[in-house]
Amino acid sequence: MDGTSSGDLTDDLSALDFAAVAPEEFARIVKGLSAQQLAEVMRGELRTRILGEVFGRMRQQFRPEAAGGLTALIRWKITGESDAVYETAIADGGCRVTAGRSDAEPRTTLVMADAEFLKLVSGNGNPVTMFMTRKLKVAGDVGLASGLTRYFDIPKA
């Protein structure tokens, strides 16, 4: 830890307007926090806001030219104080994100803890390493899961 208490850190981050934070700035924030600090931040209302903003931006970060004719439903299960489930539907050159689990069968499901999710979507985590160390679990189409990063503009810290 850098001497900043988790209470101060949570207060600092809860004051942020995540809608105004550029993806690159978000990546720098995540890079500067330990896994323990990330887990502490991902509690209660702040967790809901962070997940909502990350998934809300996914459509804007989508690269339709890279996806081509891909049609797939990706289910994200983020574990933490409770499980959060989101789905990303890629079809017809577009990307739609919804909160919650639908009745549709996903082509792939990604399961990870809060800290790993934040590292992955901010470009601070290597998905292959995360998979090999079981910090990222994949059910279904592993090939699709391994190529997901090319379909989205992932910020670099």
Tell me the pLDDT tens digit for each residue of 2-59.
444 445 655 666 666 666 778 888 889 899 998 888 888 898 888 998 999 999 999 9
Q: Could you give phi then psi for residue 70, rounded to 5 degrees?
A: -60, 135
- 97 falls within a domain: yes
Q: How far apart are CA 21 and CA 30, in angstroms?
A: 12
- 124 falls within a domain: yes
Number of domains composing the chain:
1
- 1 falls within a domain: no
- 45 falls within a domain: yes
CATH (domain of 74): 3.30.1050.10
- 92 falls within a domain: yes
Q: How many CB atoms lie within 10 A of CB 87?
A: 19
| Residue 141 structural domain | 6-151
Q: Which residues contact 27 (CB under 8 A, 6 or more apart)?
A: 122, 123, 124, 155, 156, 157
Tell me the pLDDT tens digit for each residue of 115-140.
999 999 999 999 989 999 999 999 99
